[in-house]
Amino acid sequence: MVGFILFFVDASFLFASVYLVSLVSFLMPIGQFAIVIVSLISFYAFRLYDLPRIKRTQNLLSNALLAVVVSGVLVVLIFFLPRLVLEQISRRALLYESSLLLVYLYLSRKIASSLIKRSPVRFFAIGCSVDCVEDCSVKAISNSTATIDFTSFQEAIKEFKPDFVVVPVDSKLANVNILPLDLPVISSKQVTEIFGLRLDLGQFRPEELYGYAFSSWYASVKSVIEWVIALALSILSFPLVLIAAIAVMINDPGNPFFVQERLGKNGKPFKIVKIRTMRKEGDHTSWTKDKDDRIFGAGKVIRKLRFDELPQFWNVLRADMAIVGPRPETPSIAAELAEKIPFYNLRMKVKPGITGWAQLNWGYDGSLEDVQMKLSYDLFYIKNRSIMFDLRIMLQTMETMLLGRGAR
């Protein structure tokens, strides 16, 4: 019902916004109508009416931006190319409209998703347990045989009406075809992966990582795209780096940059460059804590705005790092963690990044448990890497920076 109402709100906003844009920039009625229709189709295609999913996956900004970009491209292809309509819509009008749309989509979905009450996910677990990663209802049934025969559980499943049937990893299944076609059967470790967007380290196997994510095509395209972005951002952020460096020297005289050895892809050492936010004296190898007294005044602001990470674009240009990937660690800490945490070194199968899936979902390390949780997110990213996933992480990082979340 909320989605249905939202559709009419979207249509009303689109008609009103394109009319206002037409007052500022040249936009004929045919252009106004084109933008409204194509935008609504794009909103639906990028699941901006699926509010429970938006609330669960928290990828609103990336979906909104993609919907706006795709609708803009479609308007150009369909209505700009014919000579008759080429002058009906100006590029400036399209830019104004796209900017309005992006702000509207973000705010409207944030408000709408906060109004809905998400119903618990219902799991029917056979011979295994379910680690709930969100509000859920679980009915667990024991199974003493080596094979799970669904004829024995058909009535119980029909009565409970689950959203998912969960079975042990690598279990043998019989008579699966008696289940409704819209009832997914998943393994217990997939629950964490699907709903938590991370891997279950207790049931993880290293061979899971190797697939499309390690294709040479993806690696080449990712490297080119990130190098171009890093070059542009290095130039654009130079004034911010300069201002931050001056602020550091005023607060704590000395070199405003912090250079430290970190481990890159396949454990290859390199020198990472950051803006210094801690006093020169003291230990710089231990984990950052809340209200860390090593951080001086200007450093707290710089970390809050994440300006301390900007010089790392230079590392991307040197091919030491990527924009998206697991955070690089010092050799001593990496060796210590590898001894205590299984599979820890697998995060070095890819280039380390300035931002990453673990940073967005968990933040800074404060304990061994934090490291294990972040590793589960890092391995999920490595397993599911793609250009679209990288774009989503970049956009969510922008959202985090603008809202000032997660920095310490």
- pLDDT band at 358; cut points 50, 70, 90: very high
Q: What is the arithmetic mean of pLDDT over 78-83? A: 55
CA distance 397 to 324: 10
For the chain, what is the mean pLDDT?
Answer: 82
CA distance 63 to 224: 23
112-145 residue pLDDT tens: 777 766 678 889 999 888 877 667 888 988 888 8
The closest of 283, 287, 274, 384 to 337, measured between CA atoms, is 287
Element (H, E) at 361: helix 357-361
* Higher pLDDT, residue 199 or 146: 199
Range name among 59-63, 162-166, 385-389 with the lowest pLDDT average: 59-63
Per DSSP (E only), the strands in 321-393 are: 322-324, 353-355
Handedness of CA 283, 284, 286, 292 (dihedral sign): positive
Architecture of domain 121-196: 3-Layer(aba) Sandwich (3.40)
Percent of the chain as helix, strand, coil, to the nearest 5: 60, 10, 30
18-46 residue pLDDT tens: 777 666 665 566 667 777 888 888 888 87
pLDDT of residue 13: 82
Distances in Å between the Cα of 20 and the Cα atoms of 27, 30, 258 are: 10, 15, 49
208-243 residue pLDDT tens: 887 766 778 888 999 999 999 999 999 999 999 999
The closest of 299, 317, 297 to 307, measured between CA atoms, is 299
* Higher pLDDT, residue 75 or 353: 353
pLDDT at 271 over 90: yes
The closest of 104, 48, 46, 39 to 73, measured between CA atoms, is 39
Contact (CB, 8 A) for 222 and 387: yes
CA distance 319 to 271: 12
- pLDDT band at 401; cut points 50, 70, 90: confident
The closest of 172, 177, 168 to 142, measured between CA atoms, is 168
For the chain, what are the domain ranges? 2-115, 121-196, 212-403
pLDDT at 86 over 60: no
298-321 residue pLDDT tens: 888 888 888 889 999 999 999 999
pLDDT of residue 24: 62
Contact (CB, 8 A) for 289 and 364: no
Counting other chains too, the contacts that 341-346 makes at CB distance below 8 Å and 24 or more residues apart are 341/368, 341/371, 341/372, 341/375, 342/201, 343/201, 343/204, 343/206, 343/375, 343/379, 344/371, 344/375, 345/267, 346/206, 346/209, 346/379, 346/382
pLDDT at 331 over 90: yes
Contact (CB, 8 A) for 326 and 381: yes
- pLDDT band at 84; cut points 50, 70, 90: very low
